[in-house]
Amino acid sequence: MTDKDILSYYERSTCSVQWLEFNRALAAELSAGLPPEEIRQLFRRIGERVAVALPIERCDTVEQLRAGFNSRWKSIDWGFATLQEQSDHLGIVHACSPLAMAFGPDATDWAGGFFEGVYQTWFAAQGTPADLKVRADSSGADGLPQVVLRLERAPQ
Amino acid sequence: MTDKDILSYYERSTCSVQWLEFNRALAAELSAGLPPEEIRQLFRRIGERVAVALPIERCDTVEQLRAGFNSRWKSIDWGFATLQEQSDHLGIVHACSPLAMAFGPDATDWAGGFFEGVYQTWFAAQGTPADLKVRADSSGADGLPQVVLRLERAPQ
Amino acid sequence: MTDKDILSYYERSTCSVQWLEFNRALAAELSAGLPPEEIRQLFRRIGERVAVALPIERCDTVEQLRAGFNSRWKSIDWGFATLQEQSDHLGIVHACSPLAMAFGPDATDWAGGFFEGVYQTWFAAQGTPADLKVRADSSGADGLPQVVLRLERAPQ
Amino acid sequence: MTDKDILSYYERSTCSVQWLEFNRALAAELSAGLPPEEIRQLFRRIGERVAVALPIERCDTVEQLRAGFNSRWKSIDWGFATLQEQSDHLGIVHACSPLAMAFGPDATDWAGGFFEGVYQTWFAAQGTPADLKVRADSSGADGLPQVVLRLERAPQ
């Protein structure tokens, strides 16, 4: 047995069996009925609603934000985030969410939309200036079960 | 504490917390974007796909069918069904599914569509004649967490 | 289908399938190896440790206590409590815990011990006087999936 | 974020939150009250009972056995096994079980006892000769979340 067998077992376990087949069927219906960009927007709006339903308390530091985010994610078994302050942006890596397993191979881009919606809404509620936007970085995942995002000033 | 408090606690527990807020948000997006009948049809097609993903072995009796259905439902925590042979139809009552909790008050009709899709597909795979149709009976639930359906000859 | 079928389905669902057979086997080993009163004491000590692991914030009212208790219980899917102030005691009813399903028919008395340990430890941490004791009231359950306890002055 | 953070998140997720604190408290009580070898024997007997409660159909090949074992483990979220035929023994590696997370650092040896009990009972029910014994190989795990066992002729 290898690390890869074990990681693969764990990845399958990320999505509750109660919703695995339902979500796979929903994904097939969405893919058949809507263009990819519209599905991505749908997931973004779902993410915005989820962020409103699971609000974060007022935080004063990046570390408090990380703890607040992860307390919410932990309560619903949605993996966890790390935050990294850079000179020109804040890096967000969200790992072990059930989205990839739930919605199958097409979901990479949908997951990006979902987490953009969630984190943008959470940052806005903290008073983050409106010209700072959360964007998923599609080049970032490298085969790991994670979504890489950045909070940064949107290009003019 | 009353039976009602207890039943209400159990009903909230039917939907995995992992997907509760996601599904509620999805429901809000669907309700905002599609007419009710189209959502019902979407859930029907999702049900058809779920039935294909979770096939039932060939059964010779109604009791075997009931056991086959419930073995699948049990494996994904989706409640259970009872079947009752009547002179002119087969009654199906599906109780304790997570659909009502997952999708909120609008979901009664969607759940009807979903289970029509699942049971119709399972019966067809057993060789049930094509003019027998599964229909949700909207008048049937009486406040209990259940969906009432009938397999019967479709009116000409 | 009756209310009773539905309630019975829900009761079976209270215990995570991951630990059902393990706990049933543990119960059989305990019953075979220890007298009932020692098992009850073991569950009491387990309850004390669980209460320490899941502490409650300082509360000023019975309603805050109820909310604090239930926030902890909800986070681990262990049912919920109601509190009722009486002239000479505080009544506690804990419903829908997984203990009865997990440990089988012998567990009624063990569950009483477990919840005595939990609630006694939580009340003590709130500064409740040491002569007030939590006792399970074995006559109280009436077939409902609940444990009835009282916080009251221990007889001299 | 590294592979190690992700693996560590997954390992914490192996044990249902419903039983994590209960099992941790049980482990503390067992460690305080019984010598290690008796706890190991208790876990072995619990494993025997779990194997009887979750029987395997008659299998004709090692591959069928593997599939039969894993179907049972999957139904209760207890990880998975691989089997490897060697010249003088059958190697069994069981990965991703919830035991390590549930019972804490002391549980490595207890887990060995539990899986000896389960696999010995399953092999005996298949008609495996009585002088073939399942033994946990304590040297085997290398920091991975797995238990290594062997089915082999017991030394005289």
CB contact under 8 A, B76 and A20: yes
- Residue-level pLDDT at A3: 80
> Is the confidence at residue D16, as pLDDT, over 70?
yes
Please give the distance of CA B19 from its chain centroid, rounded to a whole number. 18
CB contact under 8 A, A95 and D1: yes
- Residue-level pLDDT at C143: 64
pLDDT tens readout for residues C55-104:
999 999 999 999 999 999 999 999 999 999 999 999 999 999 999 999 98
pLDDT tens readout for residues D95-131:
999 999 999 888 989 999 999 999 999 999 999 998 9
Tell me the shortest Cα–Cα distance from D90 to chain A, in angstroms.
14
- Residue-level pLDDT at A141: 55
Set of chain A residues whose Cβ sits within 8 Å of the Cβ of D144? 1, 3, 6
- Residue-level pLDDT at D143: 64
CB contact under 8 A, B18 and A15: yes
User: Helix and strand tally (H, E) in chain C?
Assistant: 6, 4
CB contact under 8 A, A144 and D3: yes
- How far apart CA A132 and CA B32 sit, in angstroms, is 28
pLDDT above 70 as % of chain D: 95
Span D72-92, mean pLDDT? Answer: 96
> Looking at chain A, which residue has its C-alpha nearest residue B77?
A18
Span A103-121, mean pLDDT? Answer: 94
Tell me the shortest Cα–Cα distance from B156 to chain C, in angstroms.
31
Q: Which of A49, A42, A47, A36 is nearest to A109 (CA)?
A: A36
CB contact under 8 A, A10 and D13: yes
> Is the confidence at residue C148, as pLDDT, over 60?
yes
> Looking at chain A, which residue has its C-alpha nearest residue D77?
A13
What is chain A's mean pLDDT, rounded?
93
- Residue-level pLDDT at B106: 81
Query: Where does chain B show beta strands of DSSP type E?
Result: 80-85, 90-95, 132-136, 146-153
Angle formed by the axes of helices D17-33 and D36-53, nearest 10°:
140
Radius of gyration of chain C from Cα atoms? 16
What is chain C's mean pLDDT, rounded?
93
- Residue-level pLDDT at C137: 87
Q: In this predicted structure, which of A67-81, C126-140, D50-64 has the lowest mean pLDDT?
A: C126-140
Please report the domains of chain C, with CATH numbers, ordered by start residue. Answer: 3-153 (3.30.1380.20)
- Residue-level pLDDT at C142: 58
pLDDT tens readout for residues B109-147:
999 999 999 999 999 999 999 899 999 987 555 567 899
pLDDT-flagged residues of chain B (< 50):
none
CB contact under 8 A, B146 and C3: no
Find the angle CA(A18)-CA(D82)-CA(A11) to the nearest 5 degrees: 35
Q: Which residues of B sit within 8 Å Cβ distance of A?
A: 15-26, 28-29, 42, 45-47, 49-50, 53-54, 75-78, 98
> Is the confidence at residue A98, as pLDDT, over 90?
yes
Please give the distance of CA A15 from its chain centroid, rounded to a whole number. 14
pLDDT tens readout for residues A7-49:
899 999 999 999 999 999 999 999 999 999 999 999 999 999 9
> Is the confidence at residue D141, as pLDDT, over 60?
no
CA distances from D103 to A55, D99, D107, D108 (A): 33, 6, 5, 9
Q: Which residues of B sit within 8 Å Cβ distance of C?
A: 1, 3, 5-7, 9-10, 13-14, 77, 79-80, 82, 93, 95-96, 144-146
- Residue-level pLDDT at A156: 64
**DSSP string computed for chain D:** --HHHHHHHHHHHTS-HHHHHHHHHHHHHHHHHS-HHHHHHHHHHHHHHHHHHS-----SSHHHHHHHHHHHHHHTT--EEEEEE-SS-EEEEEES-SHHHHH-TTHHHHHHHHHHHHHHHHHHHTT--TTEEEEE-TT--TTSSEEEEEEEEPP-
CB contact under 8 A, D18 and C19: yes
> Cβ-count burial of C92 within 10 angstroms (0-12 exposed, 13-18 middle, 19+ buried)?
buried
Among A18, A28, A54, select the one facing B21 at the smallest CB separation: A54
- Residue-level pLDDT at A74: 95
Set of chain A residues whose Cβ sits within 8 Å of the Cβ of D6? 7, 95-96, 144-146
Q: How many CA atoms lie within 13 A of C78 on its CB side?
A: 27
Q: Which two tokens stand for residue C149?
A: 């306890």
pLDDT bracket for residue A52 (50, 70, 90): very high
- Residue-level pLDDT at C156: 64
Would you say how long chain B is, in residues? Answer: 156
> Cβ-count burial of D64 within 10 angstroms (0-12 exposed, 13-18 middle, 19+ buried)?
middle
CB contact under 8 A, C80 and B146: no
pLDDT bracket for residue D1 (50, 70, 90): confident
- Residue-level pLDDT at D63: 97
CB contact under 8 A, B50 and A17: no
What is chain B's mean pLDDT, rounded?
93
Q: What is the residue type of A156? A: Q
Set of chain C residues whose Cβ sits within 8 Å of the Cβ of D49? 21, 24-25, 28-29
- Residue-level pLDDT at C2: 79
**ipTM of predicted complex:** 0.95
